[in-house]
Amino acid sequence: MSEEDDLDLSSLNDEELVQQMHDDLYDGLKEEIEEGVNILLERGWQPYDVLTKALVEGMRIVGIDFRDGILFVPEVLMAANAMKGGMAILRPLLAETGAPKMGKMVIGTVKGDIHDIGKNLVSMMMEGAGFEVVDIGINNAVEDYLAALEEHQPDILGMSALLTTTMPYMKVVIEALKEKGIRSDYVVLVGGAPLNEAFGEAVGADAYCRDAAVAVETAKSFMSRRQGSALAGLQAAGD
């Protein structure tokens, strides 16, 4: 048995445990990640802190070594799988707000792109903030977005892209909405590591969201503006 196998995660203090979880994520050790998440929760950590400090930060480190050619696709897939194990534990906790529904969002990763961790995180955080989320998955063509919008009638359309080669597809989707005359029916929010504010503006989105927390804040602010103008419309009709 190796030294690693002997390691009792619960004997580590918080800082050591988080460090160990970064290493375990790097090594794609799903069970250890799940155990680490449970230990931190038992110690009274907020689910959001476990998510950001232990999991997202660990994945950031994986991303750097992937970029630098130190890690390859199979290893990164294992890390992603371990991250998903941890996220599955946190998901119901983040969603457990009992808040009234804030609005509805359809979200999906664009065509040609199979990255879904960031999108899943956004979905979780939006659910946690009281939004109803319809996640249409990865590799979505224009037709998939249009069909989902028609079926679910959301307030918000969210699109995610992690590749510089797939992010321009967001414009294709937004142009299709314009052609159909339904662009203004939805708040369009976009996100993903290679995007920025200027890109969001250039493709005609309502806003670019740097991370999941910003996505929640942006969605909330658009919903309150929408509700405000609906109310103003009702008042004007009553005058």
Per-residue contact flags (x/-) with ligand B1M for residues 142 to 181, judged by CB under 6 A? ----------------xxx-xxx-----------------
Nearer to ligand B1M, 30 or 115 (CB): 115
**Which whole-number Å values give the CA distances from 165 to 115, 141, 170, 189, 206, in the listed order?**
13, 14, 11, 19, 21
> Hey, which residues does 134 pair with through a beta bridge?
106
Pairing of strands 187-191, 131-135: unpaired
Q: CA 114, CA 28: separation in Å to the nearest integer?
A: 19
Binding mask 70-109 vs ligand B1M (x if CB under 6 A, - otherwise)? ---x--xx--x--------------------------x--
Site residues (CB under 6 A) for ligand B1M, limited to 192-211:
192-194, 209, 211
Decide: is 48 part of the binding site for ligand B1M (CB under 6 A): no
Among 7, 99, 114, 230, binds ligand B1M (CB under 6 A): 114
Which residues have a Cβ under 8 Å from the Cβ of 25 and sit 6 or more positions away? 33, 55, 58, 59, 61, 62, 79, 82, 83
At 159, give phi and psi (nearest 5°).
-125, 140
Site for ligand B1M in 213-232 (CB under 6 A): 215
Q: Determine which helix (DSSP H) or strand (DSSP E) holds 117, and give its type and residue range.
A: helix 117-128
Interface residue list for ligand B1M (CB under 6 A) = 56, 59, 62-63, 66-67, 73, 76-77, 80, 107, 112-119, 121-122, 158-160, 162-164, 189-194, 209, 211-212, 215
